[in-house]
Structure 1
Amino acid sequence: MPQRGPVDLNEAVEEFGRHLRAERGVSPHTLRAYLGDLTDLSAYAADVGVTDPADLDVSLLRAWLARQHALGRARATLARRTAAVRAFTHHLHRRGLLQDDPGLLLGTPKKRRDLPGVLNQDDAARLLDTMDTEGPMGLRDLAVLEVLYGTGVRVSELCGLDIDDVDTGRRTIRVLGKGDRERTVPVGEPALRAVQDWLRAGRPAVATEISGPALFLGARGGRLHPTSARRIVHSRISEAGQMPDLSPHGLRHTAATHLLEGGADLRSVQEILGHASLQTTQLYTHVSAERLKRVHRQAHPRAARDDQAP
C-alpha cells in the first residue's frame, strides 16, 4: 500500500494540478476551473479545521457544495465543482492519501444545457456581406468570422491555427481540438477568400518577430487570443445591428444549425464539430424541428397539408 506523504490540502491540490497537466492532458480552461474549485474547497475545509487530505469525508464535501448552492452558484457550476471534487478524491484514494473515496457518494446536480441563440441564414449573410473590412484589422475580422461560421470550429481552435493548417487546394483546415485530437474540417469559398485576403494584404502589415506561424494575429503581432476573438465577434455583430448578440460559440452553434437545416446528417456534423459523443451533437437538433415538420408535411401521405380539404 502506498505510503501517505506529509502533505496538507493545499499541497495536495497543487500536486493534483501537476497530475492533470502532465498525465490527463486537460485543457487550460478546465485546469484553471478545477484548481479554482479545489482551492475554494481547501479554504472552506481550513475554516472548519480540516487541513489533512485524510480527513476529507462526504459530510464535509456535501456541506461545501450546499454552501455553493446557498451562494447562488449556477447549476452548471455546481455540476463542474462536483466533478472536480470527484476527480480529486479519486486521485487521493489512488495515491493512498484517502482510505475510502468519499467522492463516490456525491450526487450529481442535473446540468441544464442552455444552448446559445443563433443567427438565421439571412442575418448571417448580412453580417458577413456588409462588414467594414477597411485596413488590416478589418480583413482579419472578416476572416475570423467567416472561419468561425464557415467551419464551426471552437474559438480556441481558431486561435491555434497556423498558416500551414489551411489547405486551399483541398479547401480544408487542419484543427487541433480537445484532448489534442486532430481533425480535418471542410471550409467554404467565402472563408477561404477572406483568409487569403488577410494573408495577402492584412497579416504582413501586422506581423512582427513574435508572430511565428500563427494564422490570426492581434494588433501587436502576437497570436490572436481567444478573449480578443470574442471581443471581435461581439463588436462586429453589434455594428451590424438588429440581430442577437452572439459569442464565438454562438457562431459555432449557428454553423451546426444551418448544416442540419441544409440536410446534413448528425454523424457528419459530429465529425465537423469535433464532438467526442454523438449525444452532444444531438443537442443542436432542436432548432431543426420546424424543418423536419415541413419535410413531414410534404412527404408523408397521412400528414396534414394546407391544400387539403378539411
Structure 2
Amino acid sequence: MTVAAVSDVVDGYLAHLAVERGVSAHTAAAYRRDLRRYAAYLADCGADELGEVTAGQVARYVEVLATGADGGSALAAPSVGRALAAVRGLHRFALVEGLTPDDPAATVTPPRTVRRLPKAISVGQVEALLEAASVGEGPAPLRDRALLELLYSTGARISEAVSLAVDDVDLDAENPVVQVTGKGRRTRIVPVGSHAVRALGAYLVQARPGLAAKGRGGPALFLGLRGAPLSRQSAWAILQQAAERAGLAEGVSPHTLRHSFATHLLEGGADVRVVQELLGHASVTTTQLYTHVTVQTLREVYASSHPRARG
C-alpha cells in the first residue's frame, strides 16, 4: 500500500468532491476549512500518514472541536457534526481508493443535537411582507415583489432564486413553472402560483429591460439597479427591508419564506413526499421536520378549542 500523506489525501478528496460529486463552491470551501483544521490536529498528534490515524484520535478530535482545545473556535454541536462529516468522508474516500487499510472514523458519532423546528410565519404575515416589497417607485419595487413572490410560491432558496436565468422561467398560462438548480447541481421543476406569475410578468415587462440596458446582467433573471446579476447578499437585504416595513424584522431570515412555503402546503393537506420534491430535499427525513410544525399547530388549536382539552 502506498504512503498516504494526510495533505495529499485531503487534496485528492477535495478534487473528488469538486469533480465527481459536483459540490458547490460554498460546500467545497467549508470542507476545505474543516479538513485543514483536522490535518493540523493530526500533525500535532504526530500522524503524518492517514493510515496511522486511530479511532481514538478521531473521537478525541470531536472533543477538540467542541472545546477549542486546539486553539481554534469551540463549535456548537451542529457545526461539530458538519466537521465530523468532512472527516468521515475523507477516511471513507481513502479506504475506497486503497490508500488506507481501514476507516478509523466509521464508528465515531457526532454529539447529539436538538433539532430545531423550522420557523415559519403565518399566511397573513407573508401577505404583509409581499405587500411591503412593493413600496416605492421605479423598477426596484417590481423586482423585489417578483423575487419574494417567487420565493414563497416555489420554496426556492435565495441562492437558487438569484441563480435563475430568464429562460429558467416559463410563465405559460396553462402550466407556469420554473426550473431550479439546487444543491449538488440537481434540477427540479416547480409550479409557479398565479400571484407570482403576475409579479414576474410585471417585472419582466416593465422593469428588467431597463435594468438590463444599464449593465451586463446577461441571462440572469434578477438584476441589480446597475444591471449586474442580483447577489445573494442584495436579495437578503431586500427581504430584510420588506420585513422591517411589514413589522416582521424579528426572526425573519432568508429561509423564512421557504419554511413558510412547506408548512403552509402541509397544513393545506399536501403529501410530504410532494413537498420533498418541491423543496429538492434528497431525503424525506429532512422534509418530515415540517410535519412536526403542523402537528404542533394542531395541538395548539385543539388545546384552545376543545371543551374538554383543559383541566
Q: State the TM-score bracket (shorter-chain normalisation).
A: 0.7 to 0.9
In structure 2, do the counterparts of structure 1 residues 244 and 171 end up closer, same or farther at CA, with 3 Å as the change threshold?
farther
Amino acid at match of 1:153: A
Is the CA contact (8 Å cut-off) linking 1:152 and 1:256 kept in structure 2?
yes
Amino acid at match of 2:149: E
SS at 1:24's partner residue?
coil
Q: 2-side partners of 1:200 and 1:44: how far apart?
A: 56
SS at 2:17's partner residue?
helix
Q: Which residue of 2 aligns with 1:83?
A: 85
Q: Return the match for 1:229 from 232, 235, 242.
A: 235
SS at 1:102's partner residue?
coil
Q: Which residue of 1 aligns with 2:103?
A: 101
In structure 2, do the counterparts of structure 1 residues 146 and 288 end up closer, same or farther at CA, with 3 Å as the change threshold?
same
Report the alpha carbon displacement of residue 102 of structure 1 after superposing the two structures with TM. Answer: 0.6
Q: Return the match for 1:119 from 118, 121, 124.
A: 121
Is the CA contact (8 Å cut-off) linking 2:155 and 2:258 kept in structure 1?
yes
Q: Are 1:259 and 2:243 an aligned pair? A: no
TM-score, length of structure 2 as denominator length: 0.87
Q: Are 1:182 and 2:179 an aligned pair? A: no
Q: Return the match for 1:284 from 280, 290, 293.
A: 290
In structure 2, do the counterparts of structure 1 residues 96 and 268 end up closer, same or farther at CA, with 3 Å as the change threshold?
closer
Task: Choose 201-210 or 160-169, whichever is displaced more.
Answer: 201-210
Q: 2-side partners of 1:185 and 1:75: how far apart?
A: 34
Q: Which residue of 2 aligns with 1:241?
A: 247
SS at 2:164's partner residue?
coil
Q: 2-side partners of 1:217 and 1:11: how far apart?
A: 41
**Equivalent residues, number:** 300
SS at 2:105's partner residue?
helix
SS at 2:288's partner residue?
helix
Report the alpha carbon displacement of residue 57 of structure 1 after superposing the two structures with TM. Answer: 2.1
Amino acid at match of 1:77: S
Task: Choose 267-276 or 84-93, whichever is displaced more.
Answer: 267-276
Q: Return the match for 1:154 from 150, 153, 157.
A: 157
- Let me know the Cα RMSD of the aligned residues: 2.6
Is the CA contact (8 Å cut-off) linking 1:166 and 1:172 kept in structure 2?
yes
Q: Which residue of 1 aligns with 2:42?
A: 45
Is the CA contact (8 Å cut-off) linking 2:117 and 2:292 kept in structure 1?
no
Q: Return the match for 2:57 from 51, 55, 60.
A: 60
Q: 1-side partners of 2:227 and 2:6: how far apart?
A: 41
Q: Return the match for 2:33 from 29, 36, 39.
A: 36
In structure 2, do the counterparts of structure 1 residues 192 and 229 end up closer, same or farther at CA, with 3 Å as the change threshold?
same
In structure 2, do the counterparts of structure 1 residues 51 and 136 end up closer, same or farther at CA, with 3 Å as the change threshold?
farther
Q: Which residue of 1 aligns with 2:146?
A: 143
Task: Choose 121-130 or 197-206, whichever is displaced more.
Answer: 197-206
Q: 2-side partners of 1:47 and 1:39: how far apart?
A: 13
Q: 1-side partners of 2:52 and 2:225: how far apart?
A: 51
Report the alpha carbon displacement of residue 286 of structure 1 after superposing the two structures with TM. Answer: 2.1
Is the CA contact (8 Å cut-off) linking 1:206 and 1:221 kept in structure 2?
yes
TM-score, length of structure 1 as denominator length: 0.87
Q: What percent of counterpart residues are identical?
A: 41
Is the CA contact (8 Å cut-off) linking 1:75 and 1:112 kept in structure 2?
no
**5+ residue gaps, structure 2:** 69-73
SS at 2:20's partner residue?
helix
In structure 2, do the counterparts of structure 1 residues 241 and 66 end up closer, same or farther at CA, with 3 Å as the change threshold?
same
Q: Which residue of 2 aligns with 1:26?
A: 23
In structure 2, do the counterparts of structure 1 residues 13 and 114 end up closer, same or farther at CA, with 3 Å as the change threshold?
same
In structure 2, do the counterparts of structure 1 residues 134 and 92 end up closer, same or farther at CA, with 3 Å as the change threshold?
same
Task: Choose 90-99 or 165-174, whichever is displaced more.
Answer: 90-99
Amino acid at match of 2:267: E
Q: 1-side partners of 2:30 and 2:285: how far apart?
A: 24
**5+ residue gaps, structure 1:** 298-303
Q: 1-side partners of 2:286 and 2:234: how far apart?
A: 27
Amino acid at match of 1:139: L
Q: Which residue of 1 aligns with 2:221?
A: 215
In structure 2, do the counterparts of structure 1 residues 134 and 209 end up closer, same or farther at CA, with 3 Å as the change threshold?
closer
Q: 1-side partners of 2:232 and 2:40: how far apart?
A: 30
Q: 2-side partners of 1:41 and 1:186: how far apart?
A: 43
Q: Are 1:13 and 2:19 an aligned pair? A: no
SS at 2:43's partner residue?
helix
In structure 2, do the counterparts of structure 1 residues 230 and 115 end up closer, same or farther at CA, with 3 Å as the change threshold?
farther
Q: Which residue of 1 aligns with 2:71?
A: none
Is the CA contact (8 Å cut-off) linking 1:159 and 1:226 kept in structure 2?
yes
